[in-house]
Amino acid sequence: MIKVTSEVQTITQMTRDLPSPLALVPTMGALHEGHLALIRRARQLVGPDGTVAISIFVNPIQFDRASDLTNYPRPLKSDLALCERAGVDLAFTPQKDFFYHSDHSVIVTESLLSKGLCGSIRPGHFDGVLTVVIKLFNLLQPTLAIFGEKDFQQINLIRRMVRDLNIPVEIVGHPTIREPDGLALSSRNIRLTQEHREDAPRIQRSLSAASDLAVTGEQDPAAYLRSAKKHLLANAPDGFSIEYLELIDAESMQAVSLLTKPALLATACYYGGIRLIDHVVIQDH
């Protein structure tokens, strides 16, 4: 049976008493098939005798819009039932007041990989992400942690933090899980109108169409961006807009002048007030 605790004071002792290795799946709840894929991967990695732990916490300091925080779904009861059916051993569900002191003043900041993509649009977002992740690592002391690669910039930042701060945890990425029509799974998808949900696969189709230029030997980043933008905007419905569209080096996360190494073509788009992100990795040919 799954163990559930919201007590910061007891979580470290609980994890010490559970079998190792321990794999952590950090989430903000509103679990879907993408999260379940991470849980299954965690179980595969630690085996039947290891421990699979999940954290469910809507982290307030990573939201740059108050309305987004307010509207974020919090179906904790159904999330925990899903975790138990999936074979999770431990669920950590901290309360904000116990997790962050009212006068907390220390955060983790990364100064290079966070400059582009979401980091350029959402100031402070990744400070919040890295801060909550390092708190979870400190408290649960996992052997490894599993993150979805849909949030490509996020997982790269976490890997950099672990490397630079010598944190003894292995970071495992899991490929993006998609709906049958290609839309990347996200807790935000359920907030889309029917029209916007039916249209949303255009994001992945547009990026994939642009990435096809690689087979021609195209090396100009501008060509990929023009193609992706053309496909994104073609017959787009009312309420659709592009927040950013960038092509960067997949490893350094920096701008490239010529495509000679694997690159990331990434976008964030809005359907009304709903923000969706996606990307493709373009291999040089």
Tell me: pLDDT of 284 over 70: no
Annotated catalytic residue within 35, 125, 174, 279:
35
Q: Are strands 263-271 and 51-56 parallel, antiparallel or unpaired?
A: unpaired
The answer as to CATH 3.30.200.20 being correct for domain 187-280 is no
Tell me: pLDDT of 285 over 70: no
Return the pLDDT at 73: 84
DSSP one-letter code for 13: H
CA 89 to chain CA mean position, Å: 22
Neighbours of 278 (CB within 10 A): 24
248 with 116: CB under 8 angstroms? yes
DSSP one-letter code for 230: H
Write a three-state SS string for 216-229.
Answer: HCCCCHHHHHHHHH
Cite the residue boundaries of each domain of the chain with CATH code 3.40.50.620. 3-174
Average pLDDT over residues 77-95: 97
User: What is the DSSP track for 111-131?
Assistant: SSTTSSHHHHHSTTHHHHHHH
* 191 φ, ψ (degrees, to nearest 5): -90, -5
**Residue pLDDT, tens place only, 99-139:** 999 999 999 999 999 999 999 999 999 999 999 999 999 99
Out of 1.25.40.320, 3.40.50.10680, 3.65.10.10, 3.40.50.620, the CATH code matching 3-174 is 3.40.50.620
**Residue pLDDT, tens place only, 186-243:** 988 989 999 999 999 999 999 999 999 999 999 999 999 999 999 999 999 999 999 9
What is the per-residue burial (b if ≥16 Cβ within 10 Å, else e) of 180-216? eeebbbbbbbebbeeebbebbbbbbebbebbbebbee
Neighbours of 223 (CB within 10 A): 15
Q: Indicate the SS3 state at residue 12.
A: helix
**Residue pLDDT, tens place only, 161-188:** 999 999 999 999 999 999 999 999 998 8
Tell me: pLDDT of 47 over 80: yes
Torsion 41-44-48-51 (CA) sign: negative
**Residue pLDDT, tens place only, 249-282:** 999 999 999 999 999 999 999 999 999 999 999 9
User: What is the DSSP track for 115-175?
Assistant: SSHHHHHSTTHHHHHHHHHHHHHHHH--SEEEEETTSHHHHHHHHHHHHHTT---EEEEEP
Tell me: pLDDT of 245 over 60: yes
- Distance of alpha carbon 88 from alpha carbon 42, whole angstroms: 9
Q: Is 125 a catalytic site residue?
A: no
Cite the residue boundaries of each domain of the chain with CATH code 3.30.1300.10. 187-280
Burial class (CB in 10 A: 0-12, 13-18, 19+), 97: exposed
- Distance of alpha carbon 83 from alpha carbon 2, whole angstroms: 8
For 83, the enclosing helix (H) or strand (E) is helix 76-85
For 45, the enclosing helix (H) or strand (E) is helix 33-46
Share of the chain above pLDDT 90, in %: 92
284 with 259: CB under 8 angstroms? yes
